[in-house]
Amino acid sequence: MNLQGKTAVVTGGSRGIGRAISLRLAAMGALVYINYVSRPDAAEETKALIEAAGGVARTIAFDVADGIQIQDAFKRIADEAGRIDILVNNAGITRDGLLARMKESDWDQVLATNLKGAFLCTKAVSKTMMKQRWGRVVNISSVIGFAGNAGQVNYAAAKAGLIGMTKAMARELASRNITVNSVAPGYIQTDMTDALPDEARDQLLRDIPLACLGTPEDVAGAVAFLVGEDGRYLTGQTLHVNGGMYM
């Protein structure tokens, strides 16, 4: 419980990995703002889970690809909570397709949400964190940003871009006691992986040295380490949570 008195914002925080991160940070004592864009019911469910466990959370709707919505949202959060200490850039989308067939709009949408969104949110929160002289930013990248994947040129580019952005931001903000790090999940157990045919799932497991899929809670644990006191001396780094499939 080492985040008492801290305020955290988790983009895409209503489901999957984002939900697990929101629950973990709230369990550590933070007031968590759960961002969503299209599923208020899921955000409210996450909020209810946090409150049932004794934590405190609020929901907030904004599109991370929209700079005006972001400015308004972070101003509201700062006004309500008085401070913003932790930002987890987790929101992301996929628009998969082979390079030769990929629409330009599919490229633009993925880059706007997965990469530009993290830039806009971090820019919006940076002034508050610099005034506080304390902050923690965690960008959720992916193993795909390091290893690549056929049919995901746009997603791979966005997730790889997050790594370079993490390092540059870490250098810029370190003097104000703000760390910026990344977590790169591998294959995490979700509804999508549950629906895979047995043959495809078996092949996937053969590519993972630990021979199992990760869980959203595994990713949340890495984020918790980076934003907690134990991670205070790490910045510009990436934690790979992938069972050894990329080393």
Scanning the structure block, which residue is given the tokens 């907030």? Answer: 60
- Identify the domain containing residue 50 by its residue range: 7-187+217-238
Answer yes or no: is 245 within a domain: no
Q: What is the domain count for the chain?
A: 1
Q: Is the confidence at residue 88, as pLDDT, over 90? A: yes
Catalytic residue among 33, 36, 155, 187: 155
What global pTM score does this model have?
Answer: 0.96
> 155 catalytic, yes or no?
yes
Per-residue confidence band for 3, with pLDDT thresholds at 50, 70 and 90 = very high
Answer yes or no: is 205 within a domain: no
Answer yes or no: is 211 within a domain: no
What tokens does 214 get? 């990760």
Answer yes or no: is 118 within a domain: yes
Answer yes or no: is 231 within a domain: yes
d(CA 82, CA 61): 19
Answer yes or no: is 212 within a domain: no
Answer yes or no: is 11 within a domain: yes
pLDDT at residue number 192: 65
Answer yes or no: is 90 within a domain: yes
The CATH number of residue 126's host domain is 3.40.50.720
70-83 residue pLDDT tens: 999 999 999 999 99
Exposure on the CB side of residue 214, measured as CA atoms within 13 A:
25
